[in-house]
């Protein structure tokens, strides 16, 4: 394990006793939970909020994380760092009118002291009107991208927009065979998968369909401020994608696996003991316990039937 603090390699001085990395997307940012002995030595580094820390281990790299909380406990330090600096979490208000997605992401990134990237989403899509309403820039972008059928990942000092269809279409990073009695394996169906979602506003309306659903579960939403039919159609499809992706989840706990990262494609092989879990999945979140040499993931089923 290697740890860089403010650009300095402090691995041999840190006396790490616990290190867990949480790799996520959408409404949550990545986080790092470290416990260190030799608190006096560590305090000599003068840790401050938003100091940059990077941990790498066995092929996995957290990227730049920003110190969020420092807790002295019985001669030790517990440090919690996140992939968002404090400026990106400050709540506020701002109206965007006639801006493209790229322009909105650039404004939010600059205001947060970060950079940005866009993958699998047209950066020139114009948003007629949307408000940042008592939200941090990260929370606001996450909400906007969900409407557009995408998700937000904050990594290495960047806001990263990732289109769901783009992520689902990528080649699988790994293929895993599971069994029904496998330790640390949990396949679940929760809630319902909607056949249709209708978005109605004073300015426009549109309906999105999931062609794989036969049950007549439908939903109508009125509080989403789509200003024209084109935007209403995109947002209806994006919201239906988001809701129906939550229907099936697959959780696995394995030996340490550096390839488990959020928004990575995974194939689950067909197995007669657990045939329902077979198919294509996207990692929603991953957790790496470097000291106990364990990794766990929660995955969401790929959906290609939203129209």
Rounded CA separation 168/307 (Å): 16
Rounded CA separation 243/235 (Å): 12
Q: What is the model's pTM?
A: 0.93
Give me the tens of pLDDT residue by residue for the chain, a chain 307 residues long.
898 988 888 888 778 889 999 999 988 899 999 988 876 666 667 778 999 999 999 999 999 999 998 887 777 788 899 999 999 999 999 999 999 999 999 999 999 999 999 999 999 999 999 999 999 999 999 999 999 999 999 999 999 999 999 999 999 999 988 876 777 888 899 889 999 999 999 999 999 999 999 999 999 999 898 999 999 999 999 999 999 999 999 999 999 999 999 999 999 987 656 778 889 999 999 999 999 999 999 999 999 999 9
- Please give the structure tokens belonging to residue 100: 């493209």
Helix axes 101-112, 137-147, angle to 10 degrees: 160
């Amino acid at each position: 394990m290697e740890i860089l603090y403010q650009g300095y390699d402090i691995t041999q001085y840190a006396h790490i006793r616990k290190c867990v990395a949480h790799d996520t997307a959408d409404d949550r940012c990545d986080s790092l939970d470290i416990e260190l002995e030799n608190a006096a030595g560590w305090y000599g580094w003068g840790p401050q909020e938003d100091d940059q820390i990077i941990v790498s281990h066995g092929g996995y790299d957290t990227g730049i994380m920003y110190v969020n909380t420092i807790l002295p406990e019985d001669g030790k330090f517990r440090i919690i760092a996140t992939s968002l600096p404090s400026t990106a979490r400050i709540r506020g208000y701002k109206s965007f009118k006639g801006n493209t997605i790229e322009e909105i992401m650039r404004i939010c990134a600059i205001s947060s002291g970060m950079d940005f990237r866009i993958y699998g989403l047209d950066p020139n899509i114009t948003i007629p009107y949307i408000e940042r309403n008592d939200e941090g820039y990260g929370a606001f972008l996450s909400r906007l991208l969900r409407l557009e059928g995408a998700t937000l990942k904050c990594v290495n000092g960047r806001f990263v927009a990732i289109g769901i269809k783009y992520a689902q279409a990528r080649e699988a990073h790994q293929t895993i065979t599971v069994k029904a009695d496998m330790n640390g394996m949990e396949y679940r169906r929760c809630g319902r998968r909607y056949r249709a979602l209708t978005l109605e506003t004073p300015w426009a309306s549109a309906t999105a369909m999931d062609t794989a659903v036969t049950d007549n579960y439908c939903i109508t939403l009125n509080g989403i401020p789509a200003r024209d039919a084109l935007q209403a159609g995109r947002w209806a499809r994006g919201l239906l994608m988001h809701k129906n992706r939550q229907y099936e989840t697959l959780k696995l706990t394995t030996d340490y696996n550096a390839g488990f990262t959020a928004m990575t494609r995974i194939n689950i092989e067909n197995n007669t003991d657990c045939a329902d879990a077979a198919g294509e999945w996207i990692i929603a979140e991953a957790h790496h316990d470097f000291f106990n040499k364990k990794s766990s993931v929660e995955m969401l089923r790929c959906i290609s039937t939203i129209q």
